[in-house]
Amino acid sequence: MKVAVVGATGLVGTRMLQVLEERHFPVTELLPVASEKSIGRKVVFAGREWSVVSAEAAIAAKPALALFSAGGSVSGELAPRFAAVGCRVVDNSSFWRMDPDKKLVVPEINGDVLGPDDWIIANPNCSTIQMVLPLAPVHKALRIKRIVVSTYQSVTGTGYKAIAQMNTERHLAEQDVIAGGDRQSHWGEYPAVYPYPIDQNILPHIDSFLDNGYTKEEMKMVNETKKILRDDSIAVTATTVRVPVQGGHSESINVEVEKPFELDEIRALMASEPGVVVQDNPAANEYPMPLYAWGKDEVFVGRIRRDFTVANGFNFWCVSDNIRKGAATNAVQIAQKLRNLNLLD
């Protein structure tokens, strides 16, 4: 199968290539696409080198599948052009997610919505994916009324430049260039993608702020959850926070459901969902952590406990590698689903 990866040299794009290879996706010809300055650069896939090509060259080659991770503006411009030549597009940006004519897919939950007319399929936000995966069976059994989520999101969600900013700040601190709490004194002396230092800091700010006081990232979690779970009645509120971590995203989630439950039932429901691992033994200090989720495709849940302030509520802690299940792996799983449905030529 001829496959294009748009944004192939970025953090998610390189992981898409890795996951395609790990899952033995039948790629006979790879078309790695990146910016003009990267054309001709070599990427390694399946034991050989492939040259980065322009989007125009990739479209002219008429691939069967294109995986996009190149930002919303690029997706908005190029995804329809790939689709017009008979190419199925799986897009990792937010551009198409809330388009009523586009499917927003986590394959384990709603892969059944895919059909022959779906040429551009949206990959959900990383934080949304890891939250809805363990909650889907809970909603089916107990009906979720309300979700309150606070995220602790890795710098990897912002890409290579964010990792470089954090590592630079750590290096400067180690060299005693930045002393004590006076980290702002050297602000502006190194490239930065965040409005403040991220090392030894926490930013309650992911994406841009909206008129309602929430950020775009927070509203993505609100709107995407309802679309994926196919229930607009679920009340969702979110606070998304950037933390100086590389391993993955973590979330503290409070859920209120309509029906009474036992905690063992919640654990069993979550464990029944493919790709969810329950790590919930506080007596043995067993709970999910981003350091140990790094490089894995599963969503890990733990700290499952009753919320005594409402009749039918519980809290849990949720961790996943945001670059894998939160982006690259979910996109490849969508492609696998398309192939299983005989929708890829």
**Sheet hosting strand 235-239, strand order edge to edge:** 235-239, 144-152, 249-257, 313-320, 299-307, 276-278
- Show the CA angle centred on residue 272, arms to residues 268 and 274, nearest 5°: 150
Element (H, E) at 133: helix 126-142
Residue 249 annotated in active site? yes
- Given the residues 87, 139, 249, 318, select the one marked as catalytic: 249
* Residue 126: active-site member: yes
Residue type, 282: P
Residue type, 124: P
Task: Check if the beta carbon of residue 68 is closer than 8 Å to that of residue 6.
Answer: yes
Q: Are 2 and 61 in contact (CB under 8 A)?
A: yes
Q: What are 280's two structure tokens?
A: 């919930």
**Catalytic residue (choose from 87, 126, 139, 318):** 126
Amino acid at 191: P
Quote the tokens at residue 228: 């994926």
Contact 107, 337 (CB under 8 A): yes
Active site residues: 126, 249
